[in-house]
A and B are shown apart, each in its own frame.
Chain A
Amino acid sequence: MRGQDDTLVRFRGVEKSYDGQRYAVRHLDLDIARGEFLTLLGPSGSGKTTTLMMLAGFEQPTAGEILLDGRPIARLPPHKRGIGVVFQSYALFPHMSVAENVAFPLSVRGVARSEQARRVERALDMVRLPDLGARRPSQLSGGQQQRVALARALVFEPPLVLLDEPLGALDKQLREEMQLEIRHIHERLGVTMVYVTHDQAEALTMSDRIAVFRDGAIRQLDTPQALYERPTDAFVAGFVGENNRIAGTVAERDEDMTAIALGGGRRLWARQADAGGPGSPALLSVRPERIAVAAGSADDLGENALPATVAEVIYLGDHVRLRLALEGGVEITAKRPAAAAMAGLAPGAQVAVAWQPEHAVAFAPGD
């Protein structure tokens, strides 16, 4: 690998339109590093699956180019790209046994039979299905079928594996188990994986980097932590993790902090993201777990505090969620550890809420 470019895949100005009127993907520039786990995250119709399908070769870009290992692949048909793909519907071949399914990519490549058997066994071991080779796919559970699909996409040792919402059809517990398993396989094999999902928790769990898609473009490309802590716009903040939004007007700006004026003459400071200049409308966003709640008057807590009324207390075992009504009727949610003293936080109680200015972000409203 020494001396080789660290970038495995490059999208350069890639565009895709199915009907010639609307863009499925508009001007995509994206570098995927060798060995990384990149997740394309976004709501349905945001272009993430189209991006994946263009990389697999099932869709052709209408403009721009895609480079794999430095070579343009526009004219390379899917079967010559050597990219493993795992589909949401598994796409196992029902007329073949599990072992025949996994052996399929080897047999079309003319690998000797004894070698095929050895590698199929190893691949099934890797996905922890060592004894099911003789079964038909229809005799397996959903989770087992997806493991077989994974083994089949990995058995021919592709440098790049694409996963298109592979866990979408599984129940929650199985999904969480498979997330970690895929993550561990990725670490062990060092293969590059591009993963498509609309589940932000899944993206946070699994990825080295996450690209958040909206309307055919990447809104933010960052590590999970950066994405969660420092979203660059209101959409990303809303899509990744929970957040509270409070509308106001920009009152004052310094280098990286913005003061937002709310009704009733109150002002809150927040980290500047993409809010406009003084006088323009803005959204203040704050995560529920960053909100401190205290009995008493807001005026005692200083500048970044607001008075609120407890609307509802929801006990969830490890934590408590509080629905709080601010002045002017805006509702926010706060998340507190259940162990913390919650005395006096019955519905109707007058409380004060506050947070560190650097835990709040100021966005331009928009979406």
Chain B
Amino acid sequence: MAHVAAIETGKAAAALARRARRAGYGQKVSAALLVLPLLLFVLVAFAAPIGAMLKRGVEDREVAPVLPRTIGALSGWSGTALPDEPVFAALVEDLREARAAGTLPSAASRLNHDQAGLRTTLIGSARRLAAPFEGPAREAVLRADPAWGQLETWGALARARGPWTDFFLLAALDLKRDAAGTIRAVAEEQAVFRTVFGRTFWIAAMVTAITLVLAYPLAALIALSRPAVASALLFAVLLPFWTSLLVRTAAWMVLLAREGVANHALVALGLFGAPQQLLFNRFAVVVAMVHILLPFMVLPLYAVMRQIPPIHLRAASSLGAHPVSAFRRVWLPQTLPGIGAGCLMVFIQALGFYITPALLGGGADQMLPYFIGFYANQTVNWGMAASLSLLLLAATLLIVGLYGQLVGFGAVRTS
């Protein structure tokens, strides 16, 4: 009897579990339907374009379709000596065909990214080799342009064989493969990106540190004020969001100009004898970035600080802690999640600042996003722009991951 009862109960339990699953399934479906439009939007308008863009950083499909025979013939090439006659013959054939089809310029500019001057070599050689000639192709090609007698020219061709390449990523790190495929540092006068990365991270770190120092007391004041005062202060913090980033940057240009408000005030106060150069340098960039990013530091700090009961400071002092010690041992540790969240938010945004450094900074003191813009808009080197973006994204994800490990994403509650 008991056995039967147990089986009955087992069946009932299974049925209950099934019903609960079915009910839960319905909830999940409706939750999924609620976020579906947003999910589609994010996929179509955000994830897909970014993915396509980043793909260009490792994709290399411009040379192979134009010079198919040459690329094919080069496949077994060692890179230690000039290639053999068949490769030269293939090149002549490819160049004639590409010239006739008009497809040469895109391949030429891709090779020019690798080695300056290759565009001229390629287009010039195609013109000179268009007419029929006698004798071995090798001599005719070398006659057309002596650059074909250099290993590096063939190395550039081999590197551009596609369809995938690490060329742009290596270039973004000031590295390059030689003709034999070994990774080496590029010549010192061409190495720029490590410096740019360093500078970008340094400026972002400096802005983050200054923002933290300025925002912390302000957030504390807001958190400890009466509600009416607190909402007025919070409103003042949020006010800059009502104007566009560009307007705020332009306002700093006006303020810091040689004949601007800041210079007039400093001269009037007798601090400077004559107007100083306040614009187009790192000072201007940092000041404007701190101003623009301040709310992003204040808000997470405030969110955490107002969770801390003010009575904690009273309790600490009743237990014998000097106000400084009460702050350091009781208040500060409880604000650490807010410090972490604020620094993360400001640092990551600072890494990606484009307009402000471009308008206020010195020409030789630009941050990484400027170079991404430069390659994308001016030299139309999508590979370079994409691989710089990829590295910036990777560095950002690394920092976010580090934050998740050290602080934890659940640490800041906003309610």
Chain A interfacial positions (CB closer than 8 Å to B) = 56-58, 77-79, 81-85, 87, 89, 91, 93-95, 104-105, 108-109, 152-153, 156
Min distance, Cβ A142 to any Cβ of chain B, angstroms = 15
Say whether B312 contacts A156, CB under 8 Å.
Answer: no
Q: Is B146 an interface residue (CB 8 A)?
A: no
Given A93-B330, A95-B333, A108-B325, A78:B309 Cβ within 8 A: no
A132 to chain B, nearest CB (A): 19
| B 299-324 binary contact with A (CB < 8 Å = 1; else 0) | 00000000001011011111111110
**Known A91-B309, A95-B334; contact A79-B322, beta-carbon cutoff 8 A:** yes
> B315 near A79 (CB under 8 angstroms)?
no
Task: Report the minimum CB–CB distance from A163 to chain B (whole Å).
Answer: 12
Residue in A57, A79, A84, A89 whose CB lies within 8 Å of B321:
A79
Residue in A56, A82, A91 whose CB lies within 8 Å of B312: A91
Which of chain B's residues 316-373 have a Cβ closer than 8 Å to chain A?
A: 316-323, 325-326, 329-330, 333-334
Determine if B311 and A89 form an interchain contact, defined as CB atoms under 8 angstroms apart.
Answer: yes
Whether A105 pairs with B320 at a CB distance below 8 angstroms is: yes
A77 touches B317 (CB 8 A): yes
Q: List 26 A-B contacts (CB under 8 A).
A: A56-B314, A57-B317, A58-B318, A77-B317, A77-B323, A78-B318, A79-B323, A82-B320, A83-B318, A84-B319, A85-B315, A85-B318, A87-B314, A91-B309, A91-B312, A91-B314, A91-B315, A93-B312, A93-B315, A93-B316, A94-B334, A104-B329, A105-B319, A108-B320, A108-B325, A156-B319
Q: Are B314 and A58 in contact (CB under 8 A)?
A: yes
- B320→A109 contact, CB < 8 A: yes
Report the minimal beta-carbon distance from B395 to chain A, rounded to whole angstroms: 31
- Once the chains are docked, how many angstroms separate the CA of A89 from the CA of B308? 12
Please give me the residue from chain A that is nearest to B336 by CB atom. Answer: A95
Q: How far is the CB of A151 from chain B (nearest CB, A)?
A: 12
Query: Within 8 Å CB of B333, what residues of A?
Result: 95
- Max chain A Cβ within 10 angstroms of own Cβ: one of B316, B319, B330, B333: B319
B residues whose Cβ falls under 8 Å from a Cβ of A: 309, 311-312, 314-323, 325-326, 329-330, 333-334
Which A residues are CB-close (under 8 A) to B321? 79, 104-105, 108
Q: Please, how many angstroms separate the alpha-carbon atoms of A153 and B319 in the complex? A: 7
Contact B317 A79 (CB under 8 A): yes
In the assembled complex, the CB of B337 is this many whole angstroms from the nearest CB of chain A, namely 10
Given contacts A79-B323, A85-B318, A91-B312, 5 further A-B contacts (CB under 8 A): A79-B319, A81-B318, A87-B311, A108-B322, A108-B325
A148 to chain B, nearest CB (A): 12
Q: How far is the CB of A60 from chain B (nearest CB, A)?
A: 14
The distance in angstroms between the C-alpha atoms of A87 and B326, with both chains bound, is 17
Closest A-B pairs by Cβ, 7 of them: A91-B315, A105-B319, A85-B318, A78-B317, A79-B317, A108-B321, A95-B333
Given A85-B315, A91-B311, A91-B312; A79-B320 close (CB under 8 Å): yes
Q: In whole Å, how far is B167's beta carbon from the nearest beta carbon of chain A?
A: 50
Provide the residues of chain A in CB contact with B323, threshold 8 Å.
77, 79
Residue of A nearest to B326 (CB): A79
B357 to chain A, nearest CB (A): 38
How long is the Cα–Cα vector from A110 to B311 in the complex, in angstroms? 23
Which residues of chain B have C-beta atoms less than 8 A from A156's C-beta? 319-320
Min CB–CB distance B58 → chain A (angstroms):
45
Knowing A79-B323, A91-B311, A91-B312 are in contact, say whether A84-B334 is a contact too (CB < 8 A): no
Q: Which residues of A contact B334 (CB under 8 A)?
A: 93-95
Bound together, the chains give a CA A240 to CA B179 distance in angstroms of: 98
Give every chain A residue within 8 A of B317 (Cβ-Cβ): 57, 77-79
Residue of B nearest to A152 (CB): B319
Closest CB in chain B relative to A53 CB, distance in Å: 9
A294 to B281 Cα, complex, angstroms: 100
A89-B309 contact in complex given A78-B314, A95-B333, A108-B325, C-beta closer than 8 Å = yes
Given A87-B311, A91-B311: A56 and B318 interface contact (C-beta under 8 Å): yes
> How close is A108's CB to chain B, nearest CB, in angstroms?
5
Contacts of A109 in B (CB 8 A): 320
With A and B bound together, what is the CA distance between A105 and B326 in angstroms?
11
Question: A56 to chain B: which residues have CB within 8 Å?
Answer: 314, 318
Question: Which of A56, A57, A105, A156 counts the most B-chain CB atoms under 10 A from its CB?
Answer: A105
Residues in B with CB closer than 8 Å to A104 are 316, 319, 321, 329
Nearest residue (CB) in A for B325 is A108
Task: Give the shortest distance, in Å, between B283 (CB) and chain A (any CB).
Answer: 38
Contacts of B322 in A (CB 8 A): 79, 108
**Set of chain B residues within 8 Å of A87, measured between Cβ atoms:** 311, 314-315
The interface residues of chain B lying within 8 Å CB-to-CB of A105 are: 319-321
Which residues of chain B come closer than 8 Å to A91, judged between CB atoms? Answer: 309, 311-312, 314-315
Chain A nearest CB from B73 CB (Å) reads: 69
How far is it, in angstroms, between the C-alpha of A93 and the C-alpha of B317 when the chains are bound?
13
Given contacts A93-B330, A94-B334, A95-B334, contact A108 B319 (CB under 8 A): yes
A56 to B312, alpha carbons, bound, how many Å?
14
- Min CB–CB distance B17 → chain A (angstroms): 32
A87 to chain B, nearest CB (A): 6
Give bound CA distance, A156 to B316, whole Å: 13
Shortest CB-to-CB span from A238 to chain B, Å, is 32
Q: Tell me the complex Cα distance, A95–B311, Å.
A: 15
In the assembled complex, the CB of A245 is this many whole angstroms from the nearest CB of chain B, namely: 39
- A109→B319 CA distance, assembly (Å): 9
Hey, which chain A residues are within 8 Å of B315, CB to CB?
Answer: 85, 87, 91, 93
Residues of A with C-beta under 8 A to B330: 93
Q: Which residues of A contact B329 (CB under 8 A)?
A: 104, 108
Chain A residue, CB-CB nearest to B330? A93
